[in-house]
Chain A
Amino acid sequence: MRISTSTIYDSNVAALNQQQARLLHTQQQIATGRRILTPADDPAASARALEVSQSDAANTQYADNRNAARHTASLSESVLQSVTRLLQDVHATAINAGNGALSNADRKTLATDLQGRLDELGALANSTDGIGNYLYSGFQGRTQPFVNTAGVMQYQGDDGQRMIQVGASRRMAASDSGADIFMRIKNGNGTFVTQAATANTGSGIASLGLVINPAALLTGNSYQVTFTSATTYDVTNTTTAATVSTGNAYVSGQAISFDGIQFDISGAPLVGDQFTVAPSTNASLFKTVSDLISALNTPIAAGNAASSAQFTSSLNRALNGLDRGLDVVLTVRASLGSRLREIDALQTTGEDLGLQFKQTLSQLQDVDYNQAISDLTRQQTSLQAAQKSFLKVSDLSLFNYI
């Protein structure tokens, strides 16, 4: 085949250009450490890399969010730990106050001590995160949640619970409403509450009681046990004004049951003494403690069985309220604990996931140095060969011999 002289030059230049372009590409890959220099190098992988990098960024973000959640949970946990200790102290004091050897003056001293604990409880409930945001005021971070209005602690916050995105599909509560911790504590046994009337003259004391038939209790009605003599009593449903039973024989400590409710009365009630049974309502921790204080402040008339029985009733109610309050606080602490544990678990998963994303990203867009360097050497050799052979070929001419 006839070859034109310019073809020899043109095709060699084109070949050299192509080889140089390839060499430069490999060199740039090595210099930047990236396999994909522009999306055109591997369009599918570069689009995939963008998506993976978003997943990776979101995953990193969740780790930050988890730290924020852990921070508030730890803060709340340490406050509630103090609350627990405080309630246990108050509980011990209340038990101590039941000691019959104590005088009215001794009880007053205990009351003074408890007043201090009550103020402390208020301060704990109004804890802030250190930069002025209340922990237990729901959504109203800048509103003091618990305010003492005329001796009664009122809740000013709301039921808002802040959630934090701690995983791609997991939102975790980062705060708890103060109402749930300090205000919504059911009195009595949680279903109904028994109480002796203040005008009682006997020494009868009603127990907490228990529910023996939940289905029948759904009435939610209130009842009254009225003693018609020291040994007999009537039961009426005060909600419907219906008589439940009459002329029941009273034995101290023997179970009294009706409509699924069962409790007992011990001691010696007198004619006209009344005991009420009503559905449980919410009593705040503050009210429980302040009721205890006022009970301690009320002197027991010496030798007055009724007065003594009332004190015992109040004390029992306070101890029950403290137990139930402690229960609530411990439940919240348990939930905080499980949240913290879940955060730790999510953290581990998140780190594993992050590692996988990084690996995928690296596989998608990072250069394989072994491959690249061997490519570079090969391309270098072939470029050198092309250059040398071009020199030889272009040197050949008949004119050299004319």
Chain B
Amino acid sequence: MSIFAAGVSALNAAQAGLATAAHNIANANTPGFNRQEVLLGARQAQNTGAGFLGQGVDVSTVKRVYDEFLSGQVMQEQGQSNYLTTYYTQIKQLDNMLADSNAGLTPALQEFFSAANGVANTPESQAARQTLLGSAQALVANFQSLNQRLTDINNSVNGQISSSVTTINGYAQQIAALNQNIVRAQATFNGQPPNDLLDQRDQLISQLNQEIKASVIKQSDGSYNVFIGTGQSLVVGDKAFTLRSVQSLSDPAKLEVAYAGSGGTTTRLQQSSLQGGNLGGLMTFRDQSLDAAQNALGRVAMGLAGTFNAQHQLGQDLRGALGGNFFAQPVPVVNNNTANTGSAVIGASVSSYAALTTSDYSLRFNGGTAYTLTRLSDNTVTALNLSTPQTVDGLAISASGTPAVGDSYTIRPSVNGARDIALALTDSAKIAAAAPMRTGEALINAGTGKISAGTVNAPPPVNGNLQALVSIAFTSANTFTVTGAVPPVVGAVSYTAGAPISYNGWTTQISGAPAAGDTFTVSINNNASADNRNALLLAGLQIQNTLEGGTASYQGAYAQLVSQVGNKTREMEVTSLAQAGMLRQTVQAQQSLSGVNLDEEAADLLRYQRAYQAAGKAMQIANTMFDTLLNLGR
């Protein structure tokens, strides 16, 4: 009786349909779930001579509605979106840190120079001097706390890299396990697709993509090989590789990613190959924004300390001693690559704060005395012969000891600038507000010659004979002799009104018409409590363009940092928003194919319910037909 058989097959088919609809409804909110549908096929018909009579229906398979292309696109967009969002979240911290222009470095810098002006106005006042020290301390503390925030962010990036690596390892193992299960399930069940396992694996791949950009190559046995970054294998069949976060060779404060080999060995990955996803975002943020911000801040601190110290050393303190360092001077950092085999020591010091950039440098030994210096911000390469110290970008680089070919060093000129700046003075009397020499004219001078107050020649250290008594005696209206200068001046010097006269490390001018017999002196500046010449120059540094090739003041250089961070944050905000929109579009397209629509499922429920009822009716009728036959014999 084919009617019964057909009825039963119809009941089964309707049941399968109902079960699938229920499964779809149940998983409507399951992440990564692709809706499934029952594929039905008519059974082979029976040839009766009077034509083919249908035998009912077969459930040929349950398949998931899945488009490889759309899913792959979602994964890509997801990875990119996570990359941008992570970068944005991280740089937003910098942005917030620099947010309020009325707090932070700006007011501290302004108050410091306001106090320096106070000393220039009343150099003899202890109160003004104490205020300068106090505001300098506040400024230094401000630099240090900003730097601490950056260090904290770096530590948090390290932590996130570690946890991201752990997460990636977890995903890799699960994917490998699923690979194994899927291959086995397909083999066991005649190649029927294990839909939910496939969904799970796809979901894991998608999650992996959120951590790092991953690409997938499908194998003929149904397993996936997964590659991360620019082609480093993570999962091959049922085997997962393990990643590990390790200290960077060139900078111990940074974590990097490496393969964990057997027996605790590690194989380092090219860090630039780790792209996309959270991990890529963290790495790029650290390399492009965090380091740059720390360097830029450090450069402001270093430049301030360097230029302020240089001017301070040209002055004389309240006790008559030459000025020393006002700030403790931060110095460039040279990291030896821990894999180096040679014993060379690379020295780096700042020779010009104006020429200093915010970039880090990588130095590589090529043999002989030849080195290659790469500026990391733009990969500009300079060949250096370090048999003698060389100067690049305001940085004096020297080498000693024996390097091995291939040894490399990372030079970070200003990374510790904001951390290491400190106040070198505690005694307010040691603020060098005065100049170490003064000029004078004899009271009996008959001419109208006037000598200017004079300046000390930069740069420090000052000339050892700066304070030696020098007299300039006019032998006629147009000539003078100089005594006391080192080296001695022989013979008469011709006089031009207003022309600079420079000996022993100072420069002054005589103007007007001196008469023969007039004398002018340059001498030690004793008891000069009211002299503010150096304080005036110190206070004037505020508006001088001392940094960035002589185009930016301290505040200007800081404003550059703010603008750079602001711009990058803005860029990341906009692109991450755009990417999120893009992702939504792609997900929508993918979901419109594979997502569950509850109304559709409701309709399916009704459809299969009706089908079930109809099949039941067919069987009831077949039963009645049987009854008719059976009743025939009564």
Residues of A whose CB lies within 8 Å of any CB of B are 1-7, 10-11, 14, 37-44, 46-51, 53-54, 57-58, 61, 64-65, 68-69, 131, 133, 137-143, 155, 158-165, 168, 171, 174-175, 179, 183-184, 218, 220, 279-282, 365, 397-399, 402
Instruction: Identify the closest chain B residue to A32 (Cβ).
Output: B100
B521 → chain A closest CB, angstroms: 9
Enumerate chain B residues within 8 angstroms of A279, measured Cβ to Cβ.
446, 515
B37 to chain A, nearest CB (A): 13
Contacting residues, chain B, for A49 (C-beta < 8 A)? 101
Q: Are A161 and B120 in contact (CB under 8 A)?
A: no
Q: Is the CB of B593 within 8 A of A160?
A: no
Contact present for B536 and A139 (CB under 8 Å)? no
Q: Which residues does chain B contribute within 8 Å of A58, judged by CB atoms?
A: 113, 542-543
Task: Find the A residue at minimum CB distance from B111.
Answer: A57
Q: Indicate if the CB atoms of A43 and B570 lie closer than 8 Å.
A: yes
Q: How far is the CA of A331 from the CA of B584 in the complex (A)?
A: 82
Give chain B nearest CB distance to A280 CB in angstroms: 7
Q: Of A6, A7, A51, which one neighbours B556 at CB under 8 angstroms?
A: A51
Assess whether A38 is in contact with B536, with CB atoms less than 8 Å apart: no
Q: Find out whether the CB atom of B531 lies under 8 angstroms from the CB atom of A162.
A: yes
Q: Which of B451, B530, B559, B580 contacts A140 (CB 8 A)?
A: B530
- Whether the Cβ atoms of A398 and B530 lie closer than 8 Å is no
Does A43 lie within 8 Å of B567, measured CB to CB? yes
Contact B531 A6 (CB under 8 A): no
A163 touches B441 (CB 8 A): no
Question: What residue of chain A has the Cβ atom nearest to residue B447's Cβ?
Answer: A220
Collect the chain A residues with CB atoms within 8 Å of residue B438's CB: 138-139, 158-160
Q: Smallest CB–CB gap between B600 and chain A, Å?
A: 8
With CB as the reference atom, state the residue of chain B lying closest to A280. Answer: B446
**Residues on A with beta carbons closer than 8 Å to the beta carbon of B553:** 54
Any chain A CB within 8 A of the CB of B325? Answer: no
Residues of A with C-beta under 8 A to B542: 54, 58
Give min CB distance, A286 to chain B, whole Å. Answer: 12
Given contacts A6-B595, A53-B101, A165-B536, contact A65 B95 (CB under 8 A): no
Interface positions of B from 90 to 129, Cβ below 8 Å from A: 92, 95-96, 98-99, 101, 106, 109-110, 113-114, 117-118, 120-125
The CA of A1 and the CA of B562, in the complex, are separated in Å by: 47
Contact assessment for B28 and A39 in the assembled complex, using a CB-CB cutoff below 8 Å: no
Residues of A within 8 A of B443 (CB): 155, 179, 183-184, 282
The chain B residue with its CB closest to the CB of A4 is B595
Write the chain B residue with the least CB distance to A50: B559
B234 at the binding interface (Cβ < 8 Å): no
What string of 1s and 0s marks CB contacts (under 8 Å) between B344-375 and chain A? 00000000000000000000000000000000
Q: Which of B109-160 contact A (CB under 8 A)?
A: 109-110, 113-114, 117-118, 120-125
Q: Which of A141, A158, A282 interacts with B124 by CB under 8 Å?
A: A141
The one of A39, A139, A158 in contact with B565, judged by C-beta atoms closer than 8 angstroms, is: A39
By a CB distance below 8 angstroms, the chain B residues around A5 are 28, 595-599
Contacts A158-B440, A282-B445 given; indicate if A39 touches B595 (C-beta within 8 A): no
The chain A residue sitting closest to B91, CB to CB, is A40
Residues in B whose Cβ lies below 8 Å from that of A282: 443-446
A398 touches B515 (CB 8 A): no
Q: Report the separation of the CA atoms of residues A53 and B570 in the bound assembly, to the nearest whole angstrom.
A: 22
Q: Is the CB of A164 within 8 A of B121?
A: yes
Residues of A within 8 A of B543 (CB): 54, 58, 168
Name the A residues within 8 Å of B453 (CB-CB).
160-161, 163
Closest 3 pairs between A and B when the two form their complex, measured CB to CB: A4-B595, A39-B566, A141-B530
A279 to B533, CA, bound (A): 35
| Chain A hits for B562, CB < 8 A | 39, 43, 46-47, 50
The chain A residue sitting closest to B556, CB to CB, is A51
Q: How far is the CB of A358 from chain B (nearest CB, A)?
A: 13
Question: Could you say which residues of chain B place their CB within 8 Å of the CB of A2?
Answer: 592-593, 597, 600
Give chain B residues whose Cβ lies under 8 Å from the Cβ of A158.
Answer: 438, 440, 528
Chain B residues whose CB sits within 8 angstroms of the CB of A183 once the complex forms: 443
23 CB < 8 A contacts A-B? A2-B593, A3-B591, A3-B597, A4-B591, A7-B595, A37-B99, A38-B99, A40-B92, A43-B562, A43-B563, A43-B566, A43-B567, A51-B555, A54-B110, A64-B121, A65-B117, A65-B120, A139-B525, A141-B123, A159-B438, A160-B453, A398-B599, A402-B605
A-B contact count (CB 8 A): 220
* B606 within 8 A of partner (CB): yes
CB closest chain-A residue, reference B561? A47
Is B526 part of the contact surface with A, judged by Cβ < 8 Å? yes
For B235, the chain A residues whose CB sits under 8 A away are none
A40 touches B95 (CB 8 A): yes
A50: shortest Cβ distance to chain B, in Å? 4
**In the complex, A46→B559 CA distance in Å?**
8
CB–CB A38/B569 < 8 A: yes
Question: A61 contacts B587, CB within 8 Å?
Answer: no
Known A4-B597, A64-B117, A143-B527: A39·B434 in contact at CB below 8 Å: no
Asked if B602 contacts A133 (CB within 8 A), the reply is: no
In angstroms, Cα B594 to Cα A280, docked, is 110
CA distance A53 to B104 in the complex (A): 13
In the bound complex, residues from chain A placing their C-beta under 8 Å from that of B593 are 2
B309 at the A/B interface (Cβ < 8 Å)? no
Is the pair A44, B563 in contact by a Cβ cutoff of 8 Å? yes
Q: Are B526 and A140 in contact (CB under 8 A)?
A: yes
Contact indicator per residue, chain B 590-634, by CB within 8 Å of chain A (1) or not (0): 011111111110110110000000000000000000000000000
A220, chain B: closest CB distance, angstroms = 6
- Contact status of A139 and B580, CB under 8 A, knowing A164-B121, A220-B516: no
Q: A190 CA to B558 CA in the complex, in Å? A: 57
Whether B566 and A142, one on each chain, are in contact in the complex, defined by CB atoms closer than 8 angstroms, is no
Asked whether B532 lies within 8 Å of A163 as measured between CB atoms, the reply is yes
Q: Which residues of A contact B441 (CB under 8 A)?
A: 159
B120 touches A165 (CB 8 A): yes
Kindly list chain B residues whose C-beta atoms are within 8 Å of the C-beta of A162.
Answer: 123, 530-532
CB proximity to A under 8 Å, residues B539-561 = 539-540, 542-543, 553, 555-556, 558-560
Q: Which of B408-450 contact A (CB under 8 A)?
A: 434, 438-441, 443-446
Q: Which residues of B contact A171 (CB under 8 A)?
A: 536
The answer to whether A38 and B95 touch across the interface, beta carbons within 8 angstroms, is: yes
Docked pose: A390 CA to B578 CA in angstroms: 23
Whether B477 sits at the interface, judged by CB under 8 Å, is yes
Q: Which chain A residues lie closer than 8 Å to B122 at the CB level?
A: 68
Q: Does B167 contact A (CB under 8 A)?
A: no
Tell me which residues across on chain B come within 8 A of A281, comparing CB atoms. Answer: 444, 446
Q: Is B190 an interface residue (CB 8 A)?
A: no
The residue among B109, B121, B124, B438 with the most chain A CB atoms within 10 A of its own CB is: B121
* B602 close to A399 (CB less than 8 A): yes
List residues of B (1-50) whose CB comes within 8 Å of A's CBs.
28-29, 35
A160 touches B528 (CB 8 A): yes
> Closest CB-CB distance, B447 to chain A, in whole Å?
9
A283 to B584, CA, bound (A): 94
CB contact under 8 A between A11 and B515, given known A47-B559, A138-B530? no
Query: Which B residues are CB-close (under 8 A) to A140?
Result: 526-530
A4-B591, A6-B596, A220-B446 given as contacts; is B569 within 8 A of A50 (CB)?
no
Check A398–B592 contact: CB distance below 8 A.
no
B230 at the interface (CB under 8 A from A): no
B453 to chain A, nearest CB (A): 7
Task: Please name all residues of chain B whose beta carbon is closer than 8 Å to the beta carbon of A139 when the two chains form the complex.
Answer: 434, 438, 525, 527-531
Distance (whole angstroms) from the CB of B289 to the closest CB of chain A: 12
Q: Mark B510-540, 1 if CB is under 8 A from A, else 0.
A: 0000011000000001111111110010011
CA A46 – CA B532 in complex, angstroms?
35
Query: With the chains together, A155 CA to B444 CA distance in Å?
Result: 12
Residue of A6, A54, A137, A398 touching B555 (CB-CB under 8 A): A54
Further 17 A-B residue pairs, CB within 8 A, beyond A41-B566, A165-B539? A38-B95, A39-B562, A43-B562, A43-B564, A43-B565, A47-B559, A50-B559, A54-B555, A64-B118, A139-B530, A140-B527, A140-B528, A159-B439, A165-B120, A279-B515, A399-B602, A402-B606
Q: How far is the CB of A170 from chain B (nearest CB, A)?
A: 12
